[in-house]
């Protein structure tokens, strides 16, 4: 008989495997949570790119304003002039930093050249700022590496459901050994006999998330009553090779023929095409 399985050290002691044809990691599926505005702001504040961009916009704007103030012998336009020189300079500085009303800053060739250079620098820095902000906001919704102790502990505190006697449970038990006592593990790791029971427990809120190999999680997510209400919040860089476990009586020559055929299919890309056809279609 032939069965498709993940290769684990225990199974290697009990069965013979063909050459691996693929590998897969683990994913954590949970109910979708909306990031609060405060969380997004804190993430933005923690970004060095965003802090440096704001500092450069203010600092370089100040530098160009000083140069323009000196070369133009102060700002003369009636829409810029304030009650005193300090107010006038500050208004001109802010106009340069924001890129508004800058045609009022001076019409001489030197002044226009300084203004043009300021605009170019401001455009570059603003582009970096926008890209950095977008990256931080989008990163907040990307799956985290649950191999990280803090991320895994956070998930465990809300209970994790897992298929019993699978690679996912073995990995979770081993990872949790460094974080929790045996007593706590029994409370926070909930094994299930089948994926249907695991999905039902997730929908009923009995577990906060479920852990399985990525292919299984992708398939199970589509079986939920409201799939869009759930998301993959964690993955692992840990990868398990997948192969065919073959009967103990299979002779070595036949196994070699199978391995060569699998190698050819893998080399020609046919294995990847088969896996792609097997995976459930992604929603639009």
Question: pLDDT by residue (tens digit) across 21-65?
Answer: 888 889 999 998 766 667 677 777 878 888 899 898 888 889 988
pLDDT reported for residue 207: 95
pLDDT interval class at 284 (50, 70, 90)? very low
Average pLDDT, the chain: 85
Terminal-to-terminal C-alpha distance of the chain = 39
* Distance, CA of 148 to CA of 250 (rounded, Å): 42
pLDDT reported for residue 279: 62
Give the E-state strand segments of the chain in sequence order. 2-6, 16-17, 22-24, 26-31, 144-145, 160-163, 189-192, 209-213, 230-235, 240-246
pTM of the model: 0.58
Are the CB atoms for 241 and 235 separated by under 8 Å?
A: no
In the block, residue with structure tokens 């803090």: 150
Q: Please write the tens of the pLDDT for every residue from 54-99.
A: 898 888 889 988 998 898 888 887 878 888 998 888 888 888 887 7
Q: Which whole-number Å values give the CA distances from 8 to 195, 240, 245, 281, in the listed order?
A: 20, 8, 11, 29
Furthest C-alpha separation in the chain = 97
Give the E-state strand segments of 150-218 in sequence order. 160-163, 189-192, 209-213
- For residue 40, the tally of other CB atoms under 10 A from its CB is 14
- For residue 160, the tally of other CB atoms under 10 A from its CB is 25
Structure tokens at 19: 């050459």
Is it the case that residue 139 has pLDDT exceeding 70?
Answer: no
């Amino acid at each position: 008989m032939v069965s498709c399985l993940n290769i684990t050290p225990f199974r290697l002691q009990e069965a013979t495997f063909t050459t691996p044809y693929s590998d897969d990691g683990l994913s954590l599926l949970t109910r979708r949570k909306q990031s609060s505005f405060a969380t997004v702001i804190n993430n933005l504040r923690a970004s060095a790119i965003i802090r440096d961009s704001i500092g450069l916009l203010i600092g370089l704007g100040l530098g160009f304003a000083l140069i323009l103030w000196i070369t133009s012998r102060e700002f003369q336009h009636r829409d810029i002039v304030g009650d005193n020189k300090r107010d006038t300079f500050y208004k001109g500085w802010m106009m340069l930093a924001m890129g508004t009303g800058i045609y009022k800053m001076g019409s001489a060739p030197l002044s226009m050249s300084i203004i043009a250079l300021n605009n170019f620098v401001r455009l570059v820095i603003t582009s970096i700022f926008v890209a950095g902000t977008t990256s931080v906001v989008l990163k907040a919704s990307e799956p985290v590496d649950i191999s990280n102790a803090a991320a895994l502990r956070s998930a465990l505190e809300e209970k994790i459901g897992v298929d019993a006697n699978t690679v996912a449970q073995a990995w979770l038990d081993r990872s949790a050994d460094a974080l929790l006592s045996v007593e706590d593990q029994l409370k926070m790791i909930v094994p299930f006999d089948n994926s249907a029971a695991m999905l039902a427990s997730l929908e009923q809120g009995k577990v906060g998330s479920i852990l399985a190999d990525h292919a299984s999680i992708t398939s199970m997510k589509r079986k939920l009553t409201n799939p869009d209400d759930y998301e993959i919040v964690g993955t692992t860089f840990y990868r398990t090779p997948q192969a065919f476990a073959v009967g103990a009586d299979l002779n070595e020559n036949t196994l070699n023929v199978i391995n060569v055929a699998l190698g050819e299919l893998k080399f020609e890309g046919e294995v990847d095409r088969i896996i792609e056809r097997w995976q459930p279609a992604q929603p639009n």
